[in-house]
Amino acid sequence: MNTEQLLTLDAWQAVILLTRRELKSEDLVRACLERITERESEIHAFAHLDPDAALATARALDAGPVRGLLHGLPLGVKDLFDTSEFDTTYGSSVYAGYRPRTDASPVALCREAGAVVLGKTVSTEFAYFTPGPTRNPHNTAHTPGGSSSGSAAAVADHMLPLALGTQTAGSIIRPAAYCGVVGFKPSLGRVASGGVKSLSQTMDIVGGFGRSVRDVGLLGAVLTGDKRLSGWSEAALPRIGLFQTPSWPQADADVQHAWEQAARILSAQAKDCEDVVTPDNFADLIQLQKNVMTFEVARALSHERIHHRDRLSAPLNNLLEDGMAMTGARHAEQLSQVADWRQSIDALFENHDVLLTPSTTGIAPEGTATGDPLFCRSWSILGLPSVHLPFTTGQKGLPVGLQLVGRFGQDHHLLAVAQWVHERLTR
């Protein structure tokens, strides 16, 4: 295979060839490094790279036994994850030159499964809204989203087949949408997060990016230890709930067009495809998510807040001030509300296998601002699994798609339905 052919392989296709020894990991890693050399000066997806170490790891994998589900696959790791072989800066100058002694749990799991960690991908400052240097590979005048900006952009630009990300508000689904890749956020609590810089114990979740549903299924199986995420069979005809949510008026013409296209196609082929009745007070979840996140981020970043405020951006300092002004008693009340919502939301899945809902308000905005996570906040506070599916384009040829949301703990079923849906939306 030539370099172009290698770079267009989906991760699941590449891993079949790698495990059969029909493809060398070293060749795939070299192809990715060539692409990075060609494009990184425009895209700025990486915070740290070590080509020599990656090639040495690939050669060792080629010479040894098959390691696991990610054998020989190049992997990008968001710079929010501790890594023993790379500096970890969390998107902030506060941690310039910091080298952890150990890998974060998700990184260790991926290495154990045979992944080749190619480098650290750019994160926004402490995974909040202040952007890094990454640009959207479809149009560099536009944002790639945040906070997992480098991971989404690198996968979209064929620098990598897979990359790790995190989401507290919308940091997997939104950059996946803006960059036109598949992004997967598992159910809350399914992935060990030791060594991942914490923002909110109530919402932080590790997931990732690929160019197909099968790709993120492989990654999800490694992260969760649940092989059903990569080994599911063809889904039965699904029951799809069409849920625009109370934020629908904020969706622009591109999203509305994608919605109409998807609803038309799926209504003709799914077992059921019908509108979802909005639960009472569902709109309140957006403010609830903001409040819980603000309180918890202020305390998670206590060291930085106390000792390095002069090196933090103004937006982050403002968030920390707001969070410290909130009382613990009020936070406890809000956590009780979260628990009630997480229990009651299951009723939405009594008549629907998955919910189809917007991912973003529109295409990637022009400039560096990372965009609005409006359509992701509710699902983040609820802890439900979700997957973004790109399938069309909007203004300026920029990607547009929608997300599917699944029942808590039914990640494997969500991905099976997502594969079924994505095949029909991209035909």
| 338 in any annotated domain | no
CATH code where residue 73 lies:
3.90.1300.10
pLDDT for 111 equals: 98
255-278 confidence digits (pLDDT tens): 999 999 999 999 999 999 999 999
Max intra-chain CA distance, the chain: 61
Angle (nearest 5°) at CA 64 between 58 and 65:
115
In a domain, 423, yes or no: no
Does the structure show a pLDDT above 80 at 96? yes
At 162-186, the pLDDT tens digits run: 999 999 999 999 999 999 999 999 9
Asked whether residue 425 is assigned to any structural domain, the reply reads: no
According to DSSP, the β-strands at 162-167 and 74-78 are parallel
Dump pLDDT digits (tens) for 295-325: 999 999 999 999 999 999 999 999 999 999 9
Instruction: Domain of residue 79: give its range.
Output: 3-231
User: What global pTM score does this model have?
Assistant: 0.98
User: How many folded domains does the chain comprise?
Assistant: 1
Does a structural domain hold residue 347? Answer: no
Inter-CA distances, 112 with 105, 108, 216, 392, Å: 10, 6, 17, 36
pLDDT level of residue 79 (50, 70, 90 thresholds):
very high
Is 52 contained in some domain? yes
pLDDT score of 233: 73
Q: Is residue 401 part of a domain?
A: no
Active site residues: 78, 147, 171
In this structure, is residue 322 part of a structural domain? no
> How confident is residue 235, by pLDDT bands cut at 50, 70 and 90?
confident
Q: Let me know if residue 150 belongs to a domain.
A: yes
Q: Mean pLDDT throughout 90-97?
A: 98
| pLDDT reported for residue 91 | 98
For position 12, what pLDDT does the model report? Answer: 98
pLDDT at 234 exceeding the cut of 80: no
User: Which two structure tokens, joined as six digits, stand for 291?
Assistant: 């409040």
Distances (CA, A) of 308 to 95, 300, 323, 388: 10, 14, 17, 36
